[in-house]
């Protein structure tokens, strides 16, 4: 057995992949974008505000922010889901 501190949590870090997705979607408000094919849990976590790239810094309620500014839907593709996302929060600069 080793006694070491666990590594720092990564789930609150911003992913370059999702940062690019957010930029493209905000540049095309109200248009659906196919973000990719993922396990069904990805769409659920997006809706819950668990992907920091979609949430502005200092946001008090990520889930509510997602409900008010983003739409996320899925379509089944084999055993996975095609995840579609669109920005409905208006154009940001």
Per-residue pLDDT tens digits of the chain, which is 93 residues long: 989 998 876 656 788 999 999 999 999 999 999 999 998 899 999 999 999 999 998 889 999 999 999 999 999 987 789 999 999 986 554
Residue 62 lies in a domain: yes
CB 26 within 8 A of CB 86: no
Whether this model's pTM surpasses 0.95: no
Residue 78 lies in a domain: yes
User: What domain range includes position 74?
Assistant: 16-87
Tell me what pLDDT residue 69 has. Answer: 97
Q: Is 45 left (phi over 0), alpha (psi -120 to 50) or beta?
A: alpha
> What is the rounded distance in angstroms from the CA atom of residue 67 to the CA atom of residue 24?
19
Residue 29 lies in a domain: yes
Residue 9 lies in a domain: no
> What is the rounded distance in angstroms from the CA atom of residue 48 to the CA atom of residue 62?
7
- State the number of CA atoms in the 13 A half-sphere of 37 facing the CB: 5
Total tally of structural domains belonging to the chain: 1
Residue 54 lies in a domain: yes
Residue 28 lies in a domain: yes
Residue 45 lies in a domain: yes
Residue 83 lies in a domain: yes
């Amino acid at each position: 057995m080793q006694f070491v501190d666990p590594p720092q949590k990564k789930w609150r870090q911003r992913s370059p992949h999702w940062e690019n997705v957010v930029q493209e979607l905000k540049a095309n408000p109200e248009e659906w974008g196919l973000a990719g094919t993922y396990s069904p849990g990805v769409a659920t976590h997006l809706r819950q505000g668990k992907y920091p790239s979609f949430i502005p810094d200092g946001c008090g309620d990520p889930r509510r922010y997602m409900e008010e500014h983003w739409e996320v839907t899925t379509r089944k593709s084999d055993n996975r889901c095609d995840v579609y996302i669109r920005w409905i929060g208006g154009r940001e600069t």
